[in-house]
Amino acid sequence: MSRTEFAEFLIARRAALQPEDVGLPSGRRRRTPGLRREEVAALAGVSADYLARLEQGRDSNPSMAVLAAIADALRLNEIEKHHFGKLALGLEQKAKCPSAGQAGEQVSETIQAVVDALQPTPAFVLGRWLNLLHGNPSFRDFAEPLGMFEEEAHGNFAIYVFAHPTARKVFLNWDAVADMAATALRAAATRFPDDQAVQAVVTVLTRHPEFEQRWREHRLTDFRTLVLKIQHPLRGEVEVEVETLDPAADQTVAIWLVDRRQARTPGLRLVNE
């Protein structure tokens, strides 16, 4: 497993819990936020020394029973349990993931034809670190006034969300969009730990406090379903529904159908290719 990330996740989730979250008395003021290691160990039915070894990356073979007990003790939700399981099972290891090396940014002619054939519905292709690889004219017409193709965005959706000066005004539900982008990058970094391009994007984004906090806390959300509430400079307030499959390939085809209230059909659908 990725010992560093696994250990960081354990520590971050322990720090995010308060005694009252798990039915313990708050007691006196604590020196550090969150639960003590001894408290989590007691809730999970393991020794504090063993939990310390996990948090320090000195034990790389916890049993499924222990993992389940720790997940319950940390009150992980289903999304967090899924991520925790991938870390513990070592699914991000290159040896177990043949495609864990550098991603190909070249969009195949077939995928380009699919995206272009969806015209006039906005459609585009995202790379594994949320870089914009290809889009049809309708997507460019919709996204260009938002500033997605300006220099500050560096051709990357996550950088646009956190670094572009107008992104907070564009997305009326910016916090939810930011959680989605950070979670998608976390999934990519976990699955492809040897991809330096993913790490480069994360390094750039950690200069922004909103991203750095989400990354440090290992904050996760369900980025497969979301409604983007957009204040468009030409179209006014519009909604785009989001549906995604768990990314498992280098490239993702995205379709934007604007404002389901008017169209009465599914909004944004991400389909792995």
Question: Tell me, what CATH number does 177's domain have?
Answer: 3.30.450.180
CATH code of the domain covering residue 60: 1.10.260.40
Whether 100 is in a domain gets the answer no
At residue 260, the pLDDT reads: 60
Range of the domain at 214: 109-272
The reply to whether 55 and 170 lie within a common domain is no
Total of domains in the chain: 2
Q: What is the pTM of this model?
A: 0.78
- The reported pLDDT for the residue numbered 262 is 54
- Tokens 């806390």 correspond to 217
> Is there a single domain that holds both residue 50 and residue 170?
no
Distance CA 188, CA 161 (A): 17
Residue 230 binned pLDDT confidence (cut-offs 50, 70, 90): very high
pLDDT tens for each residue of 101-143: 556 678 888 889 988 998 988 888 888 899 999 999 999 999 9
CA distance 230 to 128: 24
> 31 with 127, same domain?
no
pLDDT at 243: 65
- 3-state SS of the chain: helix, strand, coil percent to 5? 50, 15, 40
Over residues 60-73, mean pLDDT:
89
Name the band, by pLDDT with cuts 50, 70 and 90, for residue 92: very low
Same domain, residue pair 44 and 117: no
Please indicate, yes or no, whether residues 128 and 27 belong to a single structural domain of this protein.
no
**Would you state the pLDDT for residue 161?**
97
